[in-house]
């Protein structure tokens, strides 16, 4: 029971997933900064700027923080145990 | 391997950098809005000087000046997306009998939105107007000016002057009422 709970709380993903998550979060945040500034400047409203930015951040968090199956497609394959002489 | 906590850390670290960049860009964008307000008018209609007793120093009698003025200024151009509010103040600039240059704020107002930024007031001094030397005798005539201070949401404060009396206004003789 506690094993399952811990697995959900930790939400581990594999190495390929890590790489993907880091790329996505960096790129999306940079895009979000640029887009929200342009949107805010165009409408001359700081409210729009931070609204757009917040929307980006919320969607990004939902996409990246939970351990979605897409980030667990390349599990590490361990070598099989070798027989050793006792 | 990456747990939820390290992913939260990863996102929030980049997020704080991006927020700082955004705030910096907003504050820099203020420099794009360089329009200054058209010069307004400030006319002093009446200046009176009365001797009196400031409660703080029971034995000290000093002159108090009372100034009435008409003020019109259109400060709407100062409002842009990064303007939080304006602080506007009327100050009197003169040299007292000791030769000290004084600038005394006699009136101020906070303008919080663009609709209120057209200023048209017939006002009088809001704050006690007195001199350090206790008298306005032999002071030079005073220039009165309307100055503004733009307070942005993010960025630096900027100052400017929106109106000024055409000719300096002399202080009248102190008249004792009793």
Residues in chain A: 86
Tally A–B CB contacts below 8 A. 67
**What is the Cα–Cα distance from B56 to B142, expressed in whole angstroms?**
26
Rounded to an integer, what distance in angstroms lies between the CA atom of residue A21 and that of residue A10?
Answer: 16
Tell me the average pLDDT across B76-88: 92
pLDDT in tens, A14-57: 888 899 999 999 999 999 999 999 999 999 999 999 999 999 99
DSSP H helices, chain B, are 4-29
Average pLDDT in the B131-151 region?
91
User: Under a CB-based contact definition with an 8 Å cutoff, are residues B155 and B93 in contact?
Assistant: no
Closest partner residue to A61 among B3, B11, B29, by Cβ?
Answer: B11
Average pLDDT over residues B143-172: 93
CB B18 to CB A18 under 8 A? Answer: no
User: B84: closest CA among B15, B169, B153?
Assistant: B153
- The CATH architecture one would assign to domain B34-164 is Sandwich (2.60)
Task: Using alpha carbons only, give the angle B141, B111, B142 rounded to the nearest 5 degrees.
Answer: 0
Question: What is this model's ipTM?
Answer: 0.82
pLDDT at A8: 79
Q: Report d(CA B1, CA B5) in Å as an integer.
A: 11
């Amino acid at each position: 029971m506690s094993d399952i709970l811990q697995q959900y709380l930790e939400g581990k993903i594999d190495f390929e997933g890590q790489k993907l998550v880091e790329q996505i979060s960096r790129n999306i945040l940079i895009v979000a900064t640029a887009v929200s500034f342009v949107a805010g400047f165009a409408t001359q409203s700081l409210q729009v700027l931070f609204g757009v930015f917040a929307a980006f951040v919320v969607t990004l968090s939902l996409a990246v923080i939970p351990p979605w199956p897409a980030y667990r497609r390349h599990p590490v394959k361990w070598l099989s145990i070798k027989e050793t002489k006792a | 391997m990456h747990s939820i906590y390290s992913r939260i850390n990863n996102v929030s670290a980049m997020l704080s950098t991006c927020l700082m960049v955004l705030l910096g860009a907003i504050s820099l964008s203020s420099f794009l809005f360089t329009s200054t307000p058209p010069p307004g008018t400030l006319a002093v209609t009446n200046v009176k000087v009365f001797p009196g007793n400031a409660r703080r120093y029971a034995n000290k009698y000093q002159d108090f000046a009372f100034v009435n003025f008409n003020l019109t200024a259109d400060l709407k151009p100062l409002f842009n997306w990064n303007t939080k509010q304006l602080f506007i103040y009327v100050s009197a600039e003169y040299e007292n009998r000791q030769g000290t240059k004084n600038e005394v704020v006699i009136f101020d107002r906070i303008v919080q939105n663009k609709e209120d930024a057209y200023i048209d007031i017939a006002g009088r001094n809001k704050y006690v107007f007195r001199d350090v030397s206790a008298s306005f005798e032999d002071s030079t005539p005073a220039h009165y000016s309307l100055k503004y201070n733009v307070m942005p949401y993010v960025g630096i404060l900027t100052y400017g002057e929106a109106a000024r009396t055409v000719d300096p206004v002399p202080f009248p003789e102190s008249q004792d009422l009793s």
